Structure 1
Amino acid sequence: MVSAIAQKTQLDLEGVNRQLVDANATSMVKWAAETFSDGLVMSTSFGIQSALMLHLVTRIVPDIPVIWVDTGYLPPKTYRFAEQLTKQLNLNLHVYQSPISPARMEALYGRLWTKDDPEALNLYDYMRKVEPMQRALRDLKATAWLAGLRAQQTHHRQTLRPIDIQSGIYKVLPILNWSSQDVHEYITEHNLPYHPLRELGYATVGDWHSSRPVTTEDQHERDTRFRGIKQECGLHLPKTQGEAQSLDSSSL
């Protein structure tokens, strides 16, 4: 169901996707800015290639709210990288965290990331990532969300369309069809930094305890997260599989 806020901008998704099928990333961001105006936000993980989307979008919408969900378990290099990009690109950054601290979570639920149990990992992701993101979207009265997902990254992302709707909010994916080479060329052309852990072999980076460098040529980059047990953290799924419905912010 479309949220009350998003109802102000009802889209014919089939028609819009046909219209934008050949649009480049810049044109798609411009379209989103014109269509959603103050309801447009973007997210970032300050991951390996995050400088690309941050640069691409803020050139067009300099003051766009940038949501960063800080899990409390990010590598020190990620926090320093975030500080660097925030200053370099003058980001309008909004940092959100779980209402339950890492120490409290571990005391009550254990170190969930150590368990070879998708349900435990889903609970971890919901507490540390999904709930804060949902809260951020509500607080900022978002009607649309720009994200840097690429089809090449996971099986789920191969099924996505450039424009869709998720949990009542439109999702716009300007670089969905970009290859790794496209990403590298953009970053090089605009003299943007990669996350420093790329130099150590990381193709993707999340929490310090669940991210690993790529070790073989045929290893998929997302298999370096959470030991390959799951590829998606739930932020970009219609609903986190196994999400604890009673675990809202009031119970954390």
Structure 2
Amino acid sequence: MLKRKQFTLPGEEEVDALNASFEQERPERVLEWLASNATAGEVPLVSSFGADSVVLLDMIAQIDANYPVLFIDTGKHFILTLQYRDELKAHFGLSNLHSITPDREILKEQDPRGALWITNPDACCNLRKTVPLATMMVNHVGWITGRKHFQTAHRSNLKIFELDGNHLKVNPLANWGAADVADYIRSRSLPGHPLVPKGYVSIGCAPCTSPVAEGEDSRSGRWRGSEKTECGLHI
């Protein structure tokens, strides 16, 4: 029996070639390529199960419902987000969904009262999101994200494939606008996050997420009142 060739981290020239090949392709084609080449789960989908997450989850489930999906359970999510995660798991038949949690002992040491988000939100994100994912990523070549150009100025030049240190990040929806997301959800009759009708356009941890007013940046409801726009996973 032939041994499957391991999917390895591409170099800069290979990433440039991938971007040139997939720039005009549908997001589904990007995911199909990954599912065919990273077949041992080297590049899982990391999903927040937030406002737009249902799009990539629907696409990946159509390709392979057993494709690995990772959810970072910070311990600070809205209860509605956790319920939505469970609803989508059942809806799509996701059979390879795993929750990543922060180390309990480190939490006891660095955030014993669970209030670090008030005094140092960057440290809180690092403790509850960045470190747990980095620990998990030791076993993977990279991961799929739901980032898009329109979300922030920081993401305006986002490529579909990008190198981040010794990992590959894949952003299938990079070129999509808010209308593309809404049209896809409507055309597929997908279940929406219950907080979206209440004005939550970008949904993260409950203490640091607020509704977005009409005309505001889509991520303006995250860490409102501060200059922080990223949790640290993509910096």
Q: Same fold (TM over 0.5)?
A: yes
**Shift of the alpha carbon at 1:25?**
0.7
**Shift of the alpha carbon at 1:37?**
2.1
Name the CA shift for 1:228/1:65 in 2 (closer, same or farther; >3 Å): farther
| Amino acid corresponding to residue 130 of structure 2 in structure 1 | V
Superposition pairs for residues 226-245 of structure 1, below 5 Å? 226-229=223-226, 230-237=228-235
Distance 2:15 2:186 in 1: 34
Q: Is the 8 A contact 1:42 1:147 kept in 2?
A: yes
Aligned twin of 2:86: 83
Counterpart selection for 1:166 from 156, 164, 167? 164
RMSD, aligned CA: 1.9
Superposition pairs for residues 208-223 of structure 1, below 5 Å? 208-215=206-213, 217-223=214-220
- Between 1:166-175 and 1:93-102, the stretch displaced more is 93-102
**Shift of the alpha carbon at 1:160?**
1.7
Aligned twin of 1:180: 178
Name the CA shift for 1:199/1:36 in 2 (closer, same or farther; >3 Å): same
| Count of aligned pairs between the two proteins | 224
What stretches of structure 1 move > 6 A for 4+ residues in a row? none
Q: Is the 8 A contact 2:210 2:221 kept in 1?
A: yes
Aligned twin of 2:15: 13
TM-score (norm 2): 0.88
Q: Is the 8 A contact 1:42 1:66 kept in 2?
A: yes
TM-score (norm 1): 0.83
Aligned twin of 1:70: 73
Distance 1:49 1:166 in 2: 23
Q: Is the 8 A contact 1:36 1:144 kept in 2?
A: no
Counterpart selection for 1:107 from 109, 112, 130? 112
Aligned twin of 1:95: 99
| Amino acid corresponding to residue 117 of structure 2 in structure 1 | W
Aligned twin of 2:49: 46
Q: Is the 8 A contact 2:9 2:167 kept in 1?
A: no
Distance 2:64 2:234 in 1: 23
Distance 2:82 2:216 in 1: 27
Aligned twin of 2:3: none
Unaligned segments of structure 2, at least 5 residues: 1-5
SS in 2 for 1:181: helix
Q: Percent identity?
A: 28
| Amino acid corresponding to residue 118 of structure 2 in structure 1 | T
Name the CA shift for 1:178/1:228 in 2 (closer, same or farther; >3 Å): farther
Is structure 2 residue 123 aligned with structure 1 residue 123?
A: yes
Unaligned segments of structure 1, at least 5 residues: 1-5, 238-252
Distance 1:80 1:104 in 2: 29
**Shift of the alpha carbon at 1:122?**
1.6
| Amino acid corresponding to residue 35 of structure 1 in structure 2 | N
Aligned twin of 2:133: 133
